[in-house]
Structures are given as C-alpha cells and as structure tokens.
Amino acid sequence: MANLKSDLLNEIRNQSYYAEIELVRLAQEPNTYYKAKIENMDNQLAIIALANQKIALVEKYFQEPVVAPVPDKPTNVGQQEGVPTVIPQNDSKPLPGQSHGE
C-alpha cells in the first residue's frame, strides 16, 4: 500500500505543479483579453485547490499503521525489575494494635 499511496500523491502533486505553472503563465500573458484571463486563472486555482484537498484526503485515508512494540516477557504492573513482589500471608496472629486476628 505504501507504493500506492506514494504514486497517488505523486500524480496529484504533478497536477498541482503544472496548474501552478499555468497560473503564473496566464498572469504574465500580455496578449489575452482580461475577462478570459480571469476565467482561465480561476479554473487553474480550482485545479490547485482540488489537488490540495485530494492530498489531504489521501494522507487521512492512507495512514501508516501504528505497530505497538511487543514486550519480550510479561511484566507485572507496578513491579520494578529485580525487586521481588511481597505477597502478604494470612496469619491468624493479630497485628500490633489489633484485638484479634481477622
């Protein structure tokens, strides 16, 4: 899919590039009627604007998948490496301050 996305973007950018060149040429053309020049420049601007919107849509719909790293070994949440986990044992002996074991 990476080649499809890059080829599509390349094609759209080429269209935009040539439309921009034509827009500059039309702006500098001395031998055309003013009304025709305005209409042609408007058409080229529409092509450029559409190409920019197409590029944004391609970027939106053809995003690269995000791959989360897979840990080598399972880890316990909150446990630091090298520190053993203390598991409290249920003794029937009362703790200091308790009247009886629970």
Give a yes or no: residue 37 inside a domain. Answer: yes
Q: How many domains does the chain have?
A: 1
Domain of residue 57 covers 2-61
Residue 84's closest CA among 93, 76, 92? 76
What are the pLDDT tens digits along the chain (102 aa)? Answer: 558 889 999 999 999 999 999 999 999 998 989 999 999 999 999 999 999 999 999 999 988 777 777 767 665 655 566 666 666 666 567 767 777 655
Give a yes or no: residue 86 inside a domain. Answer: no
H helices within the chain, ranges in order? 2-28, 34-61
Give a yes or no: residue 66 inside a domain. Answer: no
Give a yes or no: residue 70 inside a domain. Answer: no
Give a yes or no: residue 73 inside a domain. Answer: no
Give a yes or no: residue 87 inside a domain. Answer: no
Contacts of 58 (CB under 8 A, 6+ apart): 5, 8, 9, 12
Instruction: Tell me if 19 sits within 8 A of 51, measured CB to CB.
Output: yes
Give a yes or no: residue 96 inside a domain. Answer: no
